Amino acid sequence: MSTLLAVDGLDVTFDRHRVLADLSLHVQAGEILGIIGETGSGKTTLARAVVGLSPVRAGRITFEGTDLTALRGKARRAWRRAGQVQYVFQDPLRALDPQHTVARIVAEGLVVAGTLDRAAIDARVRAALAQVGLDQSLAARLPGQISGGQRQRVLLARAVALQPRLLLCDEPVSALDASNRNHVLRLLADLRDRSGVTVVVISHDLSSLAGIADRVAVLYGGRLVEQGPIGRVLSEPRHPYTALLTASAPSVRREHPIPARALRPAPDHRPVAAFGPDACSYASRCPFATQACVTAPSTAGSEWSVACHHADAWRSRLAVGAMSTRRTA
Ligand SMILES: Nc1ncnc2c1ncn2[C@@H]1O[C@H](COP(=O)(O)OP(=O)(O)OP(=O)(O)O)[C@@H](O)[C@H]1O
C-alpha cells in the first residue's frame, strides 16, 4: 500500500493552547483508519487541519506528494474545489442547510467545482444517492423532512458525489441509534470496497471502529499515543491508555484480559513528578508513570507504533490483586 496522506510533526495552537503536539500519522491508500480518543483529545482539530480549517503552527500535511500546508490563495482554492478530500461533518442537522432540498445539497460541491453540465450533475447526484442507499424519492425533501440516519447518508452522498480519494468522517454515527449506526458503518466499508476510497473514521467509541477499521490511531491530550493494525492493538495494546480504552469497551473487552481497574491509578497514587507541558500527555493519569515521563516519548515502530517510555515494562508492574477479574471492571 502507498501513503495517501502524511501528517508529520503537526502542531496546532488555539490562543497559546497547544491542541495538537508533534503529531505524525500516515494514512495508506485504500484503508479504513479509525481515530479514537476521548472528548477534547484533538480528533476533530486533526481532521480540520487536513482540510485547512485548523491553524497549523508547525508541521506538514502532504496528500499524494502535494504539501497542503504550503498551498496559498488560488492554488489552495483550486485544490479544495477539486474535492479530493471530503470532510464529513459531525452534526448532520447543523451541516445541512434546512432550506435546501437533498438534491441541491448533494449537488453543491459539483456546482462549485464547475466542471460538469447540469445533466451530468443530476446523474452524479442520482448515483451518489444510490451509493449511500437513499431512495431517489428523497431528493426533493428538505433536511427537516427526513430521519437522522437519512441525514447522515445525505452528508455522505454530498461527499461521494465528488468522487474523492479520501473521506474524513467525523463521528459519523454518534447521533444515531444502534441499528442505524451499524448500517452507516457498513456503508462506509462498502464504499471503500466498491470504489477504493480511503476512509478515516473519527470516533470516541471503540466498538464502532472495531468492526470496520483496518488500523487504529489513538489520541490522548493532542498526542498520538499508539497506532497499528486494529486487531493486534485491541488484543494486545502497548500503551496503558489504549489498554484502558479496550478494557472499558464491552464489545472488545473479552479480547484482552486486563481489567480496567488495574489500569487506573490506585486511590493513594501520587504522581512521581510535576508533569509540565513537555511531559507525556498521559503521565498525570497513568499508574505506571515515572520520572522518565517528564519528557514526551517519541513514537517507536512503523507498522505498529507506541509512544510510551514503559511500553515494554508496564505489564510486569500490574498489581496482582487488581488483575483479579471477579469484581467487574
Ligand atoms: N476554534 C477553537 N478555538 C479554541 N479552542 C478550540 C477550538 N477548536 C477546538 N478547540 C479546543 O481544542 C481541543 C480539542 O478539540 P477537538 O474538537 O479537536 O477534540 P475532539 O477530540 O474532536 O473532541 P470531541 O470528541 O468532543 O469532538 C479542545 O480543548 C477544544 O476546546
Buried b (16+ CB within 10 A) or exposed e, 270-283: ebeeebeeebbbbb
pLDDT, residue 260, reads 87
Cα distance between residue 97 and residue 144, in whole Å: 10
- Cell numbers representing residue 8 in the block: 508529520
Span of 164-168, 270-274, 291-295 with lowest mean pLDDT: 270-274
**pLDDT surpasses 50 at 326:** no
Residues 6+ apart with CB under 8 A from 14: 55
pLDDT, residue 133, reads 92
- On average, the pLDDT of the chain sits at 90
pLDDT band at 176 (very low <50, low <70, confident <90, very high): confident
Residues 6+ apart with CB under 8 A from 315: 258
The DSSP line for 205-245 is: -HHHHHTT-SEEEEEETTEEEEEEEHHHHHHS-SSHHHHHH
**pLDDT surpasses 80 at 207:** yes
Average pLDDT over residues 55-75: 93
| 184 inside domain | no
**Domain hosting residue 147, numbered range:** 98-160
**pLDDT surpasses 60 at 280:** yes
| 32 inside domain | no
Residue 91 Cα to ligand 1 middle (Å): 15
pLDDT, residue 319, reads 66
**pLDDT surpasses 90 at 177:** no
| 154 inside domain | yes
Cα distance between residue 51 and residue 61, in whole Å: 10
Which of 62, 38, 32 minimizes the C-alpha distance to 168?
32
| 312 inside domain | yes
Given ligand 1 and candidates 10, 14, 170, 171, which is best to mutate, with the most ligand atoms within 8 Å of its CB? 14
Domain count, the chain: 2
| 281 inside domain | yes
Higher pLDDT, 175 or 314: 314
Average pLDDT over residues 291-302: 85
pLDDT band at 254 (very low <50, low <70, confident <90, very high): low
| 301 inside domain | yes
* Residue finishing a domain among 108, 129, 160: 160
Which of 34, 26, 32 minimizes the C-alpha distance to 209?
34
* Residue finishing a domain among 135, 160, 185: 160
Given ligand 1 and candidates 7, 45, 219, which is best to mutate, with the most ligand atoms within 8 Å of its CB? 45
Residue 175, SS3 per DSSP: coil
Higher pLDDT, 30 or 316: 30
Q: Which long-range contacts (CB under 8 A, 24 or more apart) does 246-250 make?
A: 246/206, 247/329, 248/329, 249/205, 249/206, 249/207, 249/210, 250/207
Residue 44 Cα to ligand 1 middle (Å): 7
Average pLDDT over residues 281-295: 91
Residue 45, SS3 per DSSP: helix
Residue 77, SS3 per DSSP: helix
pLDDT, residue 271, reads 67
* Residue finishing a domain among 116, 138, 160: 160
pTM: 0.92
pLDDT band at 92 (very low <50, low <70, confident <90, very high): confident
Higher pLDDT, 207 or 123: 123
| Pocket lining: 44 vs ligand 1, CB cutoff 6 Å | yes
Residue 243 Cα to ligand 1 middle (Å): 24
**pLDDT surpasses 80 at 267:** no
| 149 inside domain | yes
Cα distance between residue 32 and residue 148, in whole Å: 24
Whether the Cβ atoms of residue 9 and residue 20 lie closer than 8 Å to each other: no
User: Count of residues for the chain?
Assistant: 329
pLDDT, residue 1, reads 73
Average pLDDT over residues 50-69: 94
Q: Beta 166-170 vs 85-88: how paired, if at all?
A: parallel
| 241 inside domain | no
